[in-house]
Amino acid sequence: MLRTLILRKAPFICKPCVSAGWRLEVRRARSTSTQRPQKPPRKIEVPNRPARTRFAPSPTGYLHLGSLRTALFNYLIAKRTGGQFLLRIEDTDQRRTVPDAEQRLFDDLRWAGLEWDEGPEVGGPYGPYKQSQRTPLYRQHADKLLDSGHAYRCFCTPQRLAELAEHRAKLGLPTDYDRTCANVPKEESDDRASQGEKHVVRLRVPDIYPPFFDLVYGYVGKGLKPATNPKDDAYDDPILLKSDGLPTYHLANVVDDHHMKITHVIRGTEWLPSTPKHLAMYQAFGWQPPNFAHVGLLVDVNGNKLSKRNMDIDVSSYRRYLPEAVNNFVALLGWSHRNRSDVMSMEELVKNFTLKFTTGSVVVTEAKLSYLQNHHQQKHLVPGDPYFEKVVDELVTLIEENQKIQVDENLLSDGGLRARVSDVLRIDNKNFTKTEGFIEEHDYFFSDAAIDCSSAKVAPEKLEAVKIAWQKTFLQIQPDGWTKESLQQAIKESAETLAEYRAKGLPDEEKGRAEKGAKKETWQHLRQALSGGKHGPGVQDTLLVLGHEVCTRRMNTYLSL
């Protein structure tokens, strides 16, 4: 009979036991030690339930590129999942508040198309949405932390704290607080506070911050410094309630995110070191924290943090671009997508958006914004579109103020200068990038003096062939017959006539090549005659806009060279 010996450690059995019919089976014992919690899946790209997100700016300045990106990311994931996007104003720093910053913030967000579902001017079930109006709530929660022992009052004066930090810095020690007030008995602390003694409320952080899961960086915490270091009397106890009774960011954002039922917080990596403190508060309150995703900082090509010199200027300065282009540009700053093209409308951004962000800093270059602007504006550069009409007005103003271009009134149609500008923009919108320079590039639509064919070096025999071709085609069209169809036919027949002329006397094997080059040569001569060789819209569109009289005159001038 075969008998089984189950071992927990050494895989050894003696020979007599083998002879007696025992066999060896090794089973590893389960560890009873505390194990690290199982990691959530590394790639969490789209929440499986509606996300409630928020953008919580401070009105201490205007909306900048980085803050617009934060707002956009939170907006997109909320809309992608059918959730809500909240706007919350963190206005507790009254000393640094800029008077018109709040209204500018509303205007810039709405210009960008980021309408909030809950917040100021909109309302919602979890208001008010300004922190200055929620002070009683923060004090209540600070009292809860005091009662539970997770916080304590600190009566140290600013002078004492400054001297402490200076002394510890000279000794090469951490400048964290030394918890002088942490052991003040609660009765004494309550009494001193009731007597009006100035104090702040500090969070009593745990000895070691536990690791946490970030949707961008995975598990974070292995490299974190200990929250406390009793050996050096150093304690990372942040202030929650200031001496004026107003909350700091740490307390206010945790309390508000919980009460407003925020499920996802997308913010810059500069807040990553503060996250353990926030999680310590969630744990102290017994609350479930939201999901955190920290995105990389925006830097210039040299790796420096953005400043006013290199694109980090307030969003109102970007209004020279289309909001769709700016949103598209901002969305690509640290977001990794699978779309076939980088060019996306807001609807496409919502459809394709995920929480798949790149790690590390994000380089910002204006060339990408210009590229996206060119693509997006093509959708708007059509007559009747408000953007098209706005550009036309700007171009007309530039012409009227530009001394270099003398407009020939006889070149214009009945609609005058604005009609001509509108026609030029309509037929060559693909080459429009910005108003500056566009008129100079198309000056031949406004002035005969802009045409200079003297540099065109055409052999007499070649020019004679062009003359024959045009006299049989273009120069036979009457003014009332100057239409799209007649011009198409004239171009075709002109190229055929030129091909026949070029193929005379050539061997059969070379005639095909001559015929092939005749069409290209026809276009080149037409462009030289009509615009002096300048690039621009298609030749057929140029013929139509300039009209019969102008084109005939310029063709005859060219043929007389």
- Give the whole-angstrom CA distance, residue 100 versus residue 98: 6
- Give the whole-angstrom CA distance, residue 51 versus residue 374: 33
- Give the whole-angstrom CA distance, residue 545 versus residue 328: 34
- Give the whole-angstrom CA distance, residue 556 versus residue 262: 73
- Give the whole-angstrom CA distance, residue 363 versus residue 159: 41
Question: What number of other Cβ atoms are within 10 A of residue 209's Cβ?
Answer: 20
SS3 201: strand
Is 308 one of the annotated active-site residues of the chain?
A: yes
Q: Which uninterrupted H or E stretch holds 373?
A: helix 366-377
Residues paired with residue 295 on neighbouring β-strands, in sequence order:
268
Residue whose structure tokens are 């913030």 = 105
Integer angstrom CA distances of residue 118 from 54, 56, 83, 252: 9, 12, 11, 18
Instruction: Give the active site residue among 308, 404, 484, 492.
Output: 308
| Contact between residue 202 and residue 151 where contact means Cβ atoms under 8 Å apart | yes
Strands annotated E in 406-501: none
- Give the whole-angstrom CA distance, residue 190 versus residue 187: 5
Q: Where are the alpha helices (DSSP H) in 149-185?
A: 158-170
| Contact between residue 469 and residue 455 where contact means Cβ atoms under 8 Å apart | no
> Sign of the C-alpha dihedral, residues 353, 357, 358, 362?
positive
Tokens representing residue 468 in the block: 């024959």
Tokens representing residue 365 in the block: 């270059």
Residues paired with residue 509 on neighbouring β-strands, in sequence order:
none
In terms of Cα–Cα distance, which of 84, 82, 81 is closest to 44? Answer: 81
- Active site residue ranges: 308
